[in-house]
Each structure stands twice: as C-alpha cells, then as structure tokens.
C-alpha cells in the first residue's frame, strides 16, 4: 500500500510541475487558478510522500518520488509543451524508468 501512496505522490509532483508550466503561459485569473492547482498538488504530494516514508526507506522513497516526477514532467513537456523528443532524451528517460523499477525491486 505504501508503494501505491508513493506512486500517487509522484503523480501529484507531475501535477504541480504541469500547473507551473500552464501558469507561465497564462495571465489574470487563469494564472491564479493554475497557481492554486500548483499549491494543492504540492501539499498533496508532500503529504503523501511523508506518509509513504513512514514505512519505506527514505532514500529509496525519495528517489522513486523524484524519478516519477522527472519522467512525468519530461513526458508532459513533450506532449503538452512541445519540448523536443530526440533519441537521447528518450533513451535517458527509459534508463531512469529502469532505475526506478530496480530500486523498488531491491527494496524490502
């Protein structure tokens, strides 16, 4: 169950980076709505991370949380913000995913 909580926390980390990117593109009330989404996502992400590290090794949990955030943010950047998707970016994202799976596999 703690791994599921950690994965959800990582997804909320992706959410707060998405909100930051969208806030940068907007103005007025829409910008403030994106910043509100950022704050809510940040609070939920950190709260779930704190819950997950009560039962998981902190180093592994933090690495998995940031890895999910990094992979998700790169994918959001490519799919939504039209960031470049060249071979090397995709190669290193793939190795990061493999590292996250490996960390989970060797954690008790």
pLDDT of residue 107: 80
pLDDT of residue 56: 94
Reported as a single tens digit per residue, the pLDDT across 63-93 is 999 999 999 999 999 999 999 999 999 999 9
Q: How many CB atoms lie within 10 A of CB 9?
A: 24
DSSP one-letter code for 57:
-
pLDDT of residue 104: 86
Tell me the three-class secondary structure of 2-35, residue by residue: HHHHHHHHHHHHHHHHHHHHHHHHCCHHHHHHHH
What is the pTM (predicted TM-score) of this model? 0.89
pLDDT of residue 2: 95
pLDDT of residue 55: 95
Residues of the chain with pLDDT under 50: none
Which residue ranges make up each domain of the chain?
2-106
């Amino acid at each position: 169950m703690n791994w599921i909580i950690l994965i959800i926390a990582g997804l909320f980390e992706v959410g707060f980076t998405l909100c930051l990117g969208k806030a940068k593109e907007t103005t007025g009330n829409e910008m403030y709505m994106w910043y509100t989404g950022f704050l809510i996502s940040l609070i939920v992400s950190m709260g779930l991370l704190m819950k997950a590290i009560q039962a998981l090794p902190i180093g592994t949990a933090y690495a998995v949380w940031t890895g999910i955030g990094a992979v998700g943010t790169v994918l959001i950047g490519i799919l939504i913000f039209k960031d470049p998707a060249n071979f090397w970016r995709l190669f290193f994202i793939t190795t990061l995913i493999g590292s996250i799976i490996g960390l989970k596999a060797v954690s008790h």
